[in-house]
Amino acid sequence: MTLPAADASAPQHAAEPAVQVTGVTKRFKLRGRRDPLVVLDDIHLTVPSGGSVAIVGLSGAGKSTLLNILGLLDRPDEGTITVFGTDTTRLPERQRASLRGKTIGFVFQQLNLLSGRSARQQVAVPLLYEGGRALRRRGELADEALTRVGLGERLHSKVSELSGGEQQRVAIARALIRDPRLILADEPTGALDPVTAGQVMDLLFATAREDGRALILVTHDHALARRADAVHVLDAGRLALDEN
Ligand SMILES: Nc1ncnc2c1ncn2[C@@H]1O[C@H](COP(=O)(O)OP(=O)(O)OP(=O)(O)O)[C@@H](O)[C@H]1O
């Protein structure tokens, strides 16, 4: 897919990690319980530029909680998240939102598609907040992104007319249209058959391998996790490298 070209004027920091997580802790207060639930306990993680990391763990281990924090959708109680050299700890909400929008593409389990809109309209939505060329070319860029995920024949189909797997691919095309440097994916291929899943993951891994980009993938699928450069296991609040 020829997505919008990366900003050639943007500074390149090849040696700088894409994401650096230090000492992240997250607790939730639970109803009827005095002690909070410690979901993340002193998490450390480095994702190199051009790299991919898979996070595996049992249901309830805290994978989504961690992904929400990495995606700047939630804040940790302690610790720091540095994204492409920007320490997000003390960033005001508006700047966090701006960094999130410009830098991060989300492929989450909840697709959040609008049922009345066509695939092309859905995929173009993130470009509505951009000015200039990307805004003007949004239809063309959406078509390219949809073609890349194998939906070139369904540009005008409404979500309600698409299968679950096709909807998931629409969400992936939408996540990629702004050419994000960091892709956060939570079970991105859960609704796809093995062949389509393989193609979609090829696309996500290929995107991440470009210098200055990265992919963080949460999955229960160990075969898929092993395609990443490193696999980390989240268990009892701690994140450990899976050496197997
Ligand atoms: N806002 C919240 N308030 C209280 N507890 C929460 C909240 N969000 C998550 N939790 C709890 O934190 C734990 C981790 O949840 P999380 O959704 O991160 O797990 P997960 O590893 O993504 O699970 P799954 O694989 O089932 O999606 C769970 O026990 C969950 O109930």
* Residue having the nearest C-alpha atom to atom 9 of ligand 1: 65
Output 152 or 212, whichever has higher pLDDT. Answer: 152
Whether residue 130 is contained in a domain is answered as: yes
Is the CB of residue 70 below 6 angstroms from any atom belonging to ligand 1?
A: no
Nearest-10 Cα torsion for 73, 75, 79, 80: 40
pLDDT of residue 219: 92
Kindly give the number of the ligand 1 atom that is closest to the alpha carbon of 61: 21
Whether residue 184 is contained in a domain is answered as: yes
Distance 42 CA to ligand 1 centre (A): 17
Q: State the average pLDDT over residues 134-158.
A: 91
Is the CB of residue 151 below 6 angstroms from any atom belonging to ligand 1?
A: no
Whether residue 95 is contained in a domain is answered as: yes
Distance 61 CA to ligand 1 centre (A): 7
Closest of 230, 235, 243 to residue 41, by C-alpha:
235
pLDDT of residue 216: 97
List of residues 6+ apart from 42 with CB closer than 8 A: 23, 24, 25, 79, 237, 238
**Phi then psi dihedrals of residue 217, to 5 deg:** -125, 125
pLDDT of residue 236: 92
Kindly tell me if the per-residue pLDDT of 70 is higher than 70. yes
**Phi then psi dihedrals of residue 29, to 5 deg:** -75, 135
List of residues 6+ apart from 26 with CB closer than 8 A: 38, 39, 40, 62, 65, 66, 69, 74, 76, 77
Quickly state the pLDDT bin for 63 (edges 50, 70, 90). very high
Distance 57 CA to ligand 1 centre (A): 12
Q: State percent of the chain over pLDDT 90.
A: 58
What is the domain count for the chain? Answer: 1
pLDDT digits (tens, 9 = 90+) for 103-141: 999 988 777 787 788 999 999 988 887 778 878 889 999
pLDDT of residue 8: 44
- What domain range is 112 assigned to? 19-241
pLDDT of residue 163: 87
Kindly tell me if the per-residue pLDDT of 9 is higher than 50. no
Whether residue 11 is contained in a domain is answered as: no
Quickly state the pLDDT bin for 2 (edges 50, 70, 90). very low
User: Residue 142 sits in a domain of what CATH number?
Assistant: 3.40.50.300
Whether residue 23 is contained in a domain is answered as: yes
pLDDT digits (tens, 9 = 90+) for 170-222: 998 999 998 899 999 998 887 788 888 888 888 889 888 887 899 999 998 98
Task: Count CB-CB contacts under 10 A for residue 40.
Answer: 24
Give the three-class secondary structure for 171. Answer: helix
Distance 3 CA to ligand 1 centre (A): 34
Whether residue 106 is contained in a domain is answered as: yes
* Residue having the nearest C-alpha atom to atom 31 of ligand 1: 60
Q: State the average pLDDT over residues 56-71.
A: 94
Give the separation between CA 238 and CA 97, rounded to whole angstroms: 27
Kindly tell me if the per-residue pLDDT of 11 is higher than 90. no
Is the CB of residue 64 below 6 angstroms from any atom belonging to ligand 1?
A: yes
Distance 6 CA to ligand 1 centre (A): 35
pLDDT of residue 209: 87
Longest distance between any two alpha carbons in the chain, whole Å: 55
Give the three-class secondary structure for 221. Answer: coil
CA torsion sign for 80, 14, 205, 137 is positive
Is the CB of residue 175 below 6 angstroms from any atom belonging to ligand 1?
A: no
Q: State the average pLDDT over residues 38-47.
A: 96
Kindly tell me if the per-residue pLDDT of 6 is higher than 60. no
Is the CB of residue 57 below 6 angstroms from any atom belonging to ligand 1?
A: yes
